[in-house]
């Protein structure tokens, strides 16, 4: 792998079979992980199915929203790196205060996963993007897994994933996790984002009116002065403007910076 | 450090002054911005074909499955089909397991123990007691669960369960419970322990407790065979033989339906007494219908649900087998402990239209409802000294012939009233020990575990008592 970096190898790297062979499903063995990967997404978009495909575990899956009731952890290793995968509860948003949303939000914010994989239902893209855009305000290491592509096709929907990737500023991988399609590509992209090979430039929420966006920018720059390198200063600013008590106390306790 | 603190205080006060400026509709503004961003991006990347056929199919199916007119009917029909498949389909593998475990392995164990000269009490304790109970639970419990859970999971994978919850939501709300309790209730028809675990989907602790406590009113797999046997013997016999099959099936369905009535009633009572509170609202998403993955579903539901539940049942059945054997073989004076207990329980049993044998069977067969009937038969034969049946004191058995079972029970003093009340008591009694243990694990509270255990028994005793009294006044 290290010495032979010639053309035939290049061909291999894009081949699903080769990549699948590099994958070692580690089940619940998540010790000494090199990277932590969070799985976020709307309910019933197939997060648990993606989770099972990556870890080889058999987390129960079912066709209804809110089925995952316990936080599931699993692992896989790929190219000699070990990844710990966390299946977060499915949520439509991260803005309200329901328990599920807190768990998901807090993990992405305070757990600082190396990669956040957002699983989205390709046949309901617009609704799913609401969560995607919110996650992208919190973290800039994200991958969009456009799942249920088979179902979208059944509904006559097609999605230009390259434009979507450009608009969102993160890699987009098209999958049908139920049949395992696209999983090797997903793994590869996760590895590239984790190692920094792919640098994301995530989309930031644009359509705020000038008064609001000015306030966000002002507060955000003040936050950046106090915490240089805070990756989600805009988002923290928005939460403070929304009067989010949990974020306020996190700010006081200094939880926001690693 | 204090510099940083000052900065933070500065930020916080700055933020609150900005909040005044921005106005209190910031949350809405932000939500609107996110929505419009999402809409812009979607319009750039998504093309919708004009082939909306599958969408229309989903809509049509939803209109039928959740319609006022057909929704309930279809639910009842699907449930009946699943139960029928479970009960009928389980017969064959059950009798095969029975042959293997009880007719092949059991005699082998006995002859091996005889050849190595094991003392009679150790041989009896191990093989007639512990082994017999475990083998029995496997033979009668495994096949129905291995059929029911995969069928149920297929429905789940297809997307039908949320439609059930949707149909029943109104009724649950009226009784002060959560709409998702419909899902845990139907899971309970397979196994109450699995139903109790499934209540994790209910967020609000109050409504989750209601779902846990009332799950036992879902007639579980372990109790269906008892219901069917007793209905065949006592209810089916009331009508001409051509109708007896239909009538006894209807009687069993009536009992299951009564369970649903009790579930709603208890939910209503609890939410007005011990568990007062508002019904929490929740969004129930009707997911798209998806073709279920057949083999995968069967595999995972076997591993996740069936094997785990079976393992727990085995752990509890082993000591119960030991107890059943011991009480039948340890004598105080000239009679066994079991007979003493039967004599002691008999007056109370008769008072509520049952008898001492049944009550003792329900006490010692707490690990699994499946072993109630075998225990009843064994205790009846031993207590009334009926010869020609069974394999000795403390050895459970069952008969292939319904009429022989009937003869044994009638010798034991059973009447139509005993039959009806046993069916009611089988519905309304404490959960099996596996379920009780699961309730404790889920609630971590002895108080709620006790409530869930005792409440159904109280119902059972009261209902059986009232029926017995009315019966004796009338006939």
What average pLDDT does range B172-189 have in this prediction?
Answer: 88
Tell me the chain A residues in contact with residue B203 when contact means C-beta distances shorter than 8 Å: 98-100
For chain B, what is the total number of helices (H) and then of strands (E)? 22, 3
Measure A7 CA to nearest chain B CA, in Å: 33
Q: ipTM of this model?
A: 0.85
Residue-wise pLDDT for A39-81, tens only, equals 999 888 888 889 988 887 766 666 565 556 556 788 888 888 8
Q: Does B29 sit within 8 Å of A208, measured CB to CB?
A: yes
Using CB atoms, pick whichever of A130, A159, A223 lies closest to residue B34: A130
Q: Domain-by-domain residue ranges, chain A?
A: 8-195, 210-252
Work out the mean pLDDT of chain B and round it to a whole number. 86
How far apart, in whole angstroms, are the C-alpha atoms of residue A150 and residue B410?
A: 62
Measured on CA atoms in the order B109, B111, B116, B118, is the torsion positive or negative? positive
Is the per-residue pLDDT at B108 higher than 60? Answer: yes
Please judge whether A207 and B12 are an interchain contact, meaning their C-beta atoms are less than 8 angstroms apart: no
How many angstroms away from the CA of A105 is the closest CA of chain B?
16
- Burial class of B465 by CB neighbour count within 10 A (0 to 12, 13 to 18, 19+): middle
What pTM, to 2 d.p., does this model score? 0.70
Tell me whether residues B49 and A158 touch, CB distance under 8 A. Answer: yes
Model confidence pLDDT, tens digit, residues B202-220: 878 899 999 999 999 999 8
CATH code that applies to domain A8-195: 3.40.50.300
Give residue for tokens 């936050």. A223
Which residues in chain A are contacts of B40 at CB distance < 8 A? 207
Residue A18 has pLDDT above 60, yes or no: no
**Inter-residue contact B207 to B177 (CB < 8 Å):** yes
Looking at chain A, which runs of residues are DSSP E strands?
23-27, 35-41, 72-78, 81-87, 115-121, 142-147, 157-159, 172-174
Q: How near does any CA of chain B get to the CA of A13, in Å? A: 28
| Cβ contact B370:B361 at 8 Å | no
Q: What distance in Å separates the CA atoms of residue A177 and residue A144, rounded to the nearest whole number?
A: 13
- Mean pLDDT of the B367-387 span: 82
């Amino acid at each position: 792998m290290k010495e032979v970096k010639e053309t035939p190898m290049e061909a291999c790297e894009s081949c699903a079979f080769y990549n699948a062979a590099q994958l070692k499903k580690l089940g619940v063995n998540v010790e000494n992980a090199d990277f932590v990967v969070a799985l976020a997404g709307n309910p019933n978009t197939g997060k648990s199915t993606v989770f099972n495909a990556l870890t080889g575990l058999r987390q129960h899956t079912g066709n209804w929203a809110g089925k995952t009731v316990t936080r599931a952890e699993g692992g896989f290793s790929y190219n000699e790196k070990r990844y710990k995968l966390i299946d977060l509860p499915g949520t439509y948003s991260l803005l309200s205060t329901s328990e599920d949303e807190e768990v998901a939000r807090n993990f992405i914010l305070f757990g600082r996963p190396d990669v956040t994989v957002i699983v989205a239902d390709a046949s309901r893209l617009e609704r799913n993007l609401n969560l995607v855009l919110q996650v992208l305000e919190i973290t800039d290491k994200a991958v969009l897994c456009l799942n249920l592509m088979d179902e979208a096709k059944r509904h006559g929907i097609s999605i230009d994933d390259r434009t979507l990737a450009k608009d969102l500023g993160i890699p987009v991988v098209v999958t049908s996790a139920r049949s395992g399609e696209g999983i090797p590509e997903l793994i590869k992209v996760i590895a590239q984002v984790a190692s920094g090979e792919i640098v994301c430039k995530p989309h930031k929420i644009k359509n705020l009116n000038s008064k609001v966006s000015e306030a966000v920018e002002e507060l955000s720059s003040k936050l950046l002065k106090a915490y240089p390198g805070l990756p989600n200063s805009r988002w923290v600013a928005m939460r403070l403007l929304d009067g989010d008590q949990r974020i306020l106390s996190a700010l006081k306790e200094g939880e926001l910076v690693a | 450090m204090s510099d940083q603190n000052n900065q933070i205080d500065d930020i916080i006060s700055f933020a609150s002054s900005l909040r005044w400026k921005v106005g209190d509709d910031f949350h809405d503004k932000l939500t609107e911005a996110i929505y419009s961003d999402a809409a812009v991006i979607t319009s750039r990347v998504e093309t919708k074909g004009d082939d909306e056929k599958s969408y229309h199919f989903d809509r049509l199916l939803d209109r039928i499955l959740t319609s006022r007119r057909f929704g309930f009917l279809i639910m009842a029909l699907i449930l009946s089909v699943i139960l029928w498949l479970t009960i009928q389909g389980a017969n064959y593998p059950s009798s095969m397991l029975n042959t293997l475990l009880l007719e092949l392995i059991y005699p082998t164990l006995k002859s091996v123990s005889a050849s190595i000269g094991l003392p009679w009490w150790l041989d009896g304790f191990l093989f007639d007691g512990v082994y017999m109970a475990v083998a029995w639970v496997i033979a009668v419990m495994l096949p129905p669960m291995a059929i029911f859970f995969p069928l149920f999971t297929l429905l789940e994978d297809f997307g039908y369960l949320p439609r059930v919850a949707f149909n029943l939501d109104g009724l649950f709300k009226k009784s002060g419970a959560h709409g998702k309790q419909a899902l845990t209730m139907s899971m309970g028809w397979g196994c109450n322990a699995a139903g109790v675990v499934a209540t994790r989907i209910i967020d609000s602790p109050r409504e989750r407790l209601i779902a846990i406590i009332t799950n036992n009113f879902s007639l579980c797999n372990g109790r269906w065979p008892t219901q069917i046997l007793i209905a065949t013997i006592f209810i089916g016999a009331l009508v001409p033989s051509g109708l007896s099959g239909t009538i006894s099936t209807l009687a069993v369905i009536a009992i299951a339906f009564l369970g649903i009535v009790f579930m709603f009633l208890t939910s209503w009572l609890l939410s007005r007494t011990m568990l007062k509170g508002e019904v929490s609202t929740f969004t129930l998403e009707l997911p798209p219908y998806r073709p279920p993955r057949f083999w995968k579903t069967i595999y995972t539901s076997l591993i996740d649900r069936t094997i785990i539940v079976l393992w727990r049942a085995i752990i509890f059945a082993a000591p119960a087998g030991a107890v059943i054997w011991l009480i039948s073989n340890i004598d105080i004076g000239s009679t066994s402990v079991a007979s003493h207990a039967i004599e002691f329980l008999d007056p109370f049993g008769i008072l509520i239209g049952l008898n001492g044998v049944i009550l003792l069977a329900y006490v010692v067969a707490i690990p699994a409802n499946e072993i109630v009937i075998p225990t009843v038969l064994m205790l009846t034969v031993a207590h009334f000294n009926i010869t020609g049946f069974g394999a000795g004191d403390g050895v459970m058995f069952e008969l292939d012939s319904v009429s022989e079972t009937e003869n044994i029970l009638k010798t034991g003093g059973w009447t139509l009233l005993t039959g009806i009340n046993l069916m009611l008591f089988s519905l309304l009694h404490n959960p099996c020990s596996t379920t009780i243990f699961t309730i404790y694990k889920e609630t971590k509270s002895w108080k709620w575990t006790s409530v869930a255990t005792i409440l159904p028994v109280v119902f059972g005793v009261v209902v059986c008592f009232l029926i017995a009294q009315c019966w004796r006044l009338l006939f």
